[in-house]
Amino acid sequence: METTRSGACDMTAHPSGPRRGMPEAERRDYLLAVAHDVFVQEGYAAANMDEVARAAGMSKKTLYQLFASKAALFEAVVTHHLAKLHAEVDDAGLSLEEALVRRLLAPAMLLLSTPQMGLFRLVSAEGGRYPEVAEAFHRAGPGNCESGLERFLSEQAAAGRLRLDSAKEATDMLFGMAIGVIHIKLLLRLRETPPAEQIEAQIRRAVAIFLNGCATGA
């Protein structure tokens, strides 16, 4: 482990800089990985562009050519780490139950992972002082997957397969049942990230309870 300055928290070790001839996409991925660690270890307020540039082995000028501000860099970090939440879900031919499990499992595995929990803790600690941090995280992460599930539930209700007073409220309740308790305990560092099969089992129980109350049987 290495530190970036006297008194700083230990940082995840990275190579001293992007290797010569690294493709632009890989160079960007490398920079965002370094920036993620700086933000998580130092906090949004304490982190600065000088430190990110130093940890990434590049000049501050080069960093500012890529990202105009710390806020822009943070949003890029969040978007990069949560990009998989934007992937289309292929549920063709699946039962309603299996489609819901699939739509919950992929985002749950990502949102409950160690790197993302680091971002959750940062946002929880500093979102009040820096609302743009909370907004960027929610827009790229939880808000994105919730809106996708809400659209799916609305479609199923319109097709007569679900009875819903509000697709938005149903989405919130389903997400809460599926990962809420696990997420809170991880946020408070009261447990380790559970294995995939345990997360899936919890999601299946949540989906079964949800469908027991909302499915029409059509």
Residues 121-152: tens digit of each pLDDT: 999 999 999 998 998 888 877 777 788 899 99
- CB 40 within 8 Å of CB 88: no
- CB 126 within 8 Å of CB 44: yes
Q: Are residues 137 and 47 in the same domain?
A: no
Give the global pTM: 0.79
Residue 190 domain flag: yes
Residue 14 domain flag: no
Burial of 139 (0-12, 13-18, 19+ CB in 10 A): middle
Judged against a pLDDT cut of 60, whether residue 40 lies above it is answered with yes
Using 50, 70 and 90 to split pLDDT, how confident is the model at 5? very low
Residue 112 domain flag: yes
Torsion of CA 153, 177, 88, 197, to 10 degrees: -140
Range among 18-27, 104-113, 157-166 with highest mean pLDDT value: 157-166
Q: Are residues 92 and 61 in the same domain?
A: no
Q: Are residues 129 and 179 in the same domain?
A: yes
Q: Are residues 92 and 49 in the same domain?
A: no
Per DSSP, helices labelled H in 93-141 are 96-111, 114-126, 131-140
Q: Are residues 75 and 86 in the same domain?
A: no
Q: Are residues 91 and 75 in the same domain?
A: no
Please tell me what DSSP assigns to residue 167. Answer: H
Q: Which residues contact 78 (CB under 8 A, 6 or more apart)?
A: 119, 136, 137, 140, 141
Residue 103 domain flag: yes
Q: Are residues 35 and 87 in the same domain?
A: no
Q: Is the dihedral of CA 48, 53, 59, 62 positive or negative?
A: negative
Residue 128 domain flag: yes
3-class SS of residue 82? coil
**Could you give the CA distance from residue 158 to residue 163 in angstroms, rounded to a whole number?**
9
Residue-number span of the structural domain to which 62 is assigned: 24-80
* Number of compact structural domains in the chain: 2
